[in-house]
Amino acid sequence: MRESEFWNALEWVYPDGHGKSLVQDLVLSALGDMSPQAALDAGMPPRRVWEALCDAMDWPEQYRFLNRINSTDRAKLRR
C-alpha cells in the first residue's frame, strides 16, 4: 500500500476530512503508542498503519484491501 492509497482509502471510510482527524487523535498500542499520523511521519509502512486501524476500528475484513478494490466495486461495499 502506498501512502496515497492509505489516504484515499481513509477518505472513503471517513469522508469530509473526518479520517484525517481520526489519524491525528487516535493513539494505538499496535503502533507503539503513536497515532497513525505520527507512525506514518516516523516512516512506518502505510500497510502496517492501515492494518492497525482496521483492527482498532473493527472494520469489515474487506476494508483491509480497499486499495486493491476499484471504485466501481468499492461502491458495492457497505460502509
Write down the domain spans for the chain.
Answer: 3-74
Residue 72 confidence (pLDDT) above 70? yes
pLDDT (mean) for 62-78: 85
This prediction has a pTM of 0.90
* CA dist., res. 68 & res. 47, Å (int): 12
C-alpha distances (whole Å) from 76 to each of 6, 29, 49, 54 are: 19, 32, 25, 19
* Residue 70: band (very low, low, confident or very high) from pLDDT cuts 50, 70, 90: confident
Residue 58 confidence (pLDDT) above 90? yes
Model confidence pLDDT, tens digit, residues 16-56: 989 999 999 999 999 999 999 999 999 999 999 999 999 99
7 in Cβ contact with 67 (< 8 Å): no
Residue 76 confidence (pLDDT) above 90? no
Residues ≥6 apart with Cβ < 8 Å to 51: 64
Residue 7 confidence (pLDDT) above 90? yes
Strand residue runs (E) in 1-79: none
